[in-house]
Chain A
Amino acid sequence: MIKMKKNMKRVFFFYSLLFILIIAHLLYLIIFEKETSINSYNPRLNMIDNSIKRGIIFDTNGTTLAETVTSGGSIKREYYYPEEFCHIIGYMPKGKSGLEAKSNFTLQELDNELLQRANAIFSEENIPRGNNIFITIDSNLQHYIYEKLGRSKGAVVVMEPKTGKILSMVSYPSFNPIEIERDWDKLKDDDKNSPLLNRATQGLYPPGSTFKILTAGAEIETNPNYSDFSYTCKGEDFFDRKKIRCFNSTVHGKVDIYSALEHSCNTFFATIGQKIGSNILSLYAQKAMFNTPLEFTLEYNKSSFTLSNDSKPTEVVETAIGQGKTLVSPLHMAMITSAVANKGIMMKPYIIDRIESYSREPLKTTVPTEMSVLFSEQTSIKLTEMMKKVVDSGTGAEAKIKGITIAGKTGTAETPSGADHAWFTAFAPAEDPKIAVTVLLENAGNGSEAIPITRDIIEYILK
């Protein structure tokens, strides 16, 4: 009998543990998995939009980008730069996207709810208002870049290397969020142009020669005599029976790492890739946050890097020159460029600058945070020197601006179908980098078209 009662106590103790597990799991859901509620299948996201005023979205100068207005009893969301900001701010009635989705709860959250509700009793006009968001983007710059991109498919990302602040992010083709309900079926089914896709964060492209920044950095850090190594380029060469050609089969002659990056010599970097091998390349890809979440606010896709211990030697060689299976988003390329500009330190990209209450009381301000250390300071100084040469006398010479030193790298990404994608990624001024600009143009042929756009953007910001 006594033993029996002891067993009962044990059983009850076991059950208590189960219930504690339930409580712990509930708390876990609320504290750590709050993000899962932001899903287009959750009908609650739109629930209170008709009874409150969602928060306003401002640009960095305080220009209103999106706000909710009431007219004659009906509530409507207005967008003031609809096409320029469509991928950032997103749309609303057809599910939600962009910041409207990702910051939904911030925009809906009523600060000092009791007071606001009490005020609403006295006047119909006092509809409770959600929190306002200030984003890091300058609407003038955004507009300039949107116009500059014209009708070319592609994406532009402008970032502040020292902080990770996104100064501009444009993707084209765009759409008009005001007319989203009318255009929905057309937009959704347009697989050729995919206007709803934010190419800057969700588009994944082969990096082409821009990847050589990573290969060169890896070589500098792992080989103390890197500057003595030279190679004679014959325009093409065989690596394990795989033929690697330089762009247009140009013969570069005897090149070292400086001149090879300057003229984007594929055979040189293929040799380097073969020498340092897949393990070191993988290590640097890992440091550069490939295959890792970028923790960016907006919807994005992870860049992918597929080399492993059992990759074929030809694959290693292709990866080292940016072909192979590597895929990268324009945002991620801007982050890598920024890391070189910021003494090798990669900052976490952010687009929400601060959150304010309806009464303009500051609630939360984003603090820049480091994400990863990609290169040492020395390495990034060396890389900057090399990238300066690219613009000074190499493949990116068209970007030259009088009075501003620019460091950059061109890239041409081969695509299985259609013309190549063009990359240009750069930062300026090279001595004290203020901005990093990455431009990607889909099916634009070689890199030359992306270069003048980058030049104009840099000139617009710094002059």
Chain B
Amino acid sequence: MKKTIIVSLVAVMALSVLAGCGGGTKTEESQGKADAPAKPLKFSLSLPVTTTAGYQARVTDWKNDKLVKQLEKLTNTELTVRITEDSKMSVMFAGNDIPDVVGSIGTPTSKSMAGSVEAGVFMPLDDLLKQYAPNLMKKVPKAAWDAVSHNGKIYGIPDYLSNPSRRGTYIRTDLLEKAGLKPPQTIDEFLNVLRAFKKMGVENPYQMRDSFKYADVVLGAYDVLPYKDQFEVVNGQVQPKFFDVDNMEKALQTYKTMLDEGLIPKDFATISSADYSKSINSGKAGAWSANATGLISFRTPIRQVVPDAKVDIIPSPKGPEGKGGYFFYIPAVRTFYINKNVDKERAIGIVKFYEWMTSEEAEKFFTFGIEGENYTLDNGKMNYKIPTTKEEQEEESFRQGTLWMGQDATLSPPRKRLELDQNGKDVLSAFDNVLNMEGLPGIGFYPDLTAFAKYPDLAPPQPDVGPKLIIDHMVKMIYGKEPIADWPKVIEEYKAKGGNEILKEANERYSKKEGVLEIKR
């Protein structure tokens, strides 16, 4: 009898060891090793990507990848790296195959995290960070720490934004000069510039797009962006910004004028992002809205078509209240979480690993790569080999954007790299002198309001797209299928179809300060 028990116990233990192996690289590797500091810290890490194309597509063996090896050398670690597409994150969670450190795009309650933080898959990091990563704590702005907190506890280490205003108004300066006009400062001036462009034969004076995505300069000027994190407090009540009937009607009227006068494409409701880029890059657009980091990627193709084209980022035209620009992004772009099964010693090591990310050594490695291969130093002067082939460019962007964790993600490529040439300097100047002055703060709810899940038509499907119900009415009004004066009715419809529940929950959470994120500079 006793023997049977022992045998079955052994069998169970053997099985659980097997199960442990099957479950991925969990805790068994490092026990007892962490206290010997000379030994490298071992942990597994999943890096989030939006696409598997690029550098990551060419690496088959991450153990022997030169960038990973260099990172291991610099940080005395032994990494088991894998790449996880953002859309496949829930598959990883459902399969319970969770590495020691998981990176994801967004915040703890983002869809790609599949509710894992709420389910307690990861550990809170407050104490560890305070004790072992003082520089990181200082460098990452509080707004970003707030964004990666859940129920008051920090759960992740973010790639943060030091400047939440990321989009800018682009204009073809050469056309502006030809028209003899100054950069527009108000919406009225903006329309006049567009009219002048139209007269000069520019096909799409303002490159509009479907759903107002990257086409919201007017909505911004009137401060009625219908987005997820664009709630505001009016008379002590939290409400979406599109509740502002007066400004919304003016914004819609402006778009209608633009459509009627041919200042935006007649079929903008079916202009996809591909059509939008194609039109701009072939020199058919006079002004447009886009990410400011994209300046270089617009200049090059446009100049191939129109050799003397000049593309610049100008201050966004202001509305009657002096507001303008685009929505503020939530200040955490990617977030890295530590599996709760990681023992304390290793967790400390991992936090120190992220602390190292703030160092100058890290900045140099991720920005410029490996000495001798990517750059040389002449008496301390940086001689960076600027990537020319597609392969080299992909390697650079992987190093700077994917492998560098816990960084300031405002600029891509990083500041030091941008300082090397004129295009980069122009991007820097756009961020430091233009975007710094504009943009629209708002209130967001993290995790999402639960009422959103109940009423998909009232929930913004993406951070920069409004709810279907609202967008549908806006588009119909601009096309003249519904009168703009009916906007109050749209708000009533919104309320009746579930909006009242959204408002109620938003106000309750706002007054209790539960998962409320004020997104401001």
**A and B: interacting chains:** no
Question: B residues within 8 Å of A by Cβ?
Answer: none
